[in-house]
């Protein structure tokens, strides 16, 4: 036994690790594609509801009437539009990104900084997802209502916020996997991450 060399498993090389991460990156990408399409459709409906509510307010002012329910509905529609569209906006690269520092980096340094930034954003987004989901369940459990003239249930709007944060977390996870698997840089040129 003394003459036998110890059998150790070789560590995964960088190329092997990238191939290993390619499948999860594709799966997350396809999942995020479908969820983003649904989220954009819901955000568009919320935006239409917001526009209709504002038009009702404008017409009501011309007739010297006050419609009390329009203000909270407009607020809820605005929240829904914002949170449902935040992840698809990041995925389509229409968010405002301060990338002056990252643009100066190349190679491994850029990969590390991008992964770190996306990872930090992912952790914060997961925390926000957990918190808003917790608030949604608590609001549903205790039947919390708004303090407006018409007491709307709060949990449906909080659920939309939780959905938005969860999808935002998935988009950031997709970017982390893209950086780690070598699919990165597809968002640098203004297009969404590609999924071969």
For the chain, give every domain's residue range.
20-181
If you average pLDDT over every residue of the chain, what do you get?
83
pLDDT at 194: 45
pLDDT at 191: 44
With a cut of 90, say whether residue 52 has pLDDT above it.
yes
Weakest-pLDDT range from 33-37, 96-100, 157-161, 162-166:
96-100
Return the higher-pLDDT residue of 59 and 182: 59
User: Sorting pLDDT into bands at 50, 70 and 90, what band is 65?
Assistant: confident
Mean pLDDT of 126-150: 93
- The whole model's pTM is what? 0.77
- Long-range residue pairs from 36-41, CB within 8 A, at least 24 positions apart, any chain: 36/87, 36/88, 36/91, 36/167, 36/171, 39/84, 39/85, 39/87, 39/88, 39/163, 39/164, 39/167, 40/84, 40/85, 40/88
Rounded CA-CA distance 58/52 in Å is 10
- 106's torsion region: left (phi>0), alpha (psi -120 to 50) or beta? beta
Return the higher-pLDDT residue of 1 and 83: 83
Tokens encoding 2: 């003394």
What does the pLDDT look like over 14-44, one tens digit per residue? 677 666 767 777 787 788 899 999 999 999 9
User: Sorting pLDDT into bands at 50, 70 and 90, what band is 120?
Assistant: very high
User: Sorting pLDDT into bands at 50, 70 and 90, what band is 184?
Assistant: low
pLDDT at 156: 92
């Amino acid at each position: 036994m003394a003459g036998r060399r110890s059998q150790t498993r070789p560590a995964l090389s960088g190329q092997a690790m990238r191939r290993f991460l390619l499948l999860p990156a594709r799966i997350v990408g396809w999942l995020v594609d479908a969820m983003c399409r649904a989220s954009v459709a819901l955000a568009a409906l919320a935006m239409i509801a917001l526009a209709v509510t504002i038009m009702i307010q404008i017409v009501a002012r011309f007739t010297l009437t006050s419609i009390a329910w329009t203000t909270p509905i407009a607020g809820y529609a605005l929240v829904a539009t914002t949170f449902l569209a935040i992840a698809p906006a990041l995925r389509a690269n229409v968010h405002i990104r301060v990338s002056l520092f990252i643009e100066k980096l190349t190679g491994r340094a850029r990969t590390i900084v991008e992964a770190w930034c996306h990872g930090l954003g992912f952790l914060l987004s997961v925390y926000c997802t957990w918190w808003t989901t917790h608030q949604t369940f608590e609001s549903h459990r205790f039947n919390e209502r708004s303090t407006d003239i018409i007491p709307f249930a709060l949990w449906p709007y909080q659920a939309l916020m939780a959905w938005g944060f969860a999808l935002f977390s998935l988009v950031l996870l997709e970017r982390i996997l893209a950086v780690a698997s070598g699919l990165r840089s597809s968002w640098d040129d203004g297009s969404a991450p590609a999924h071969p």
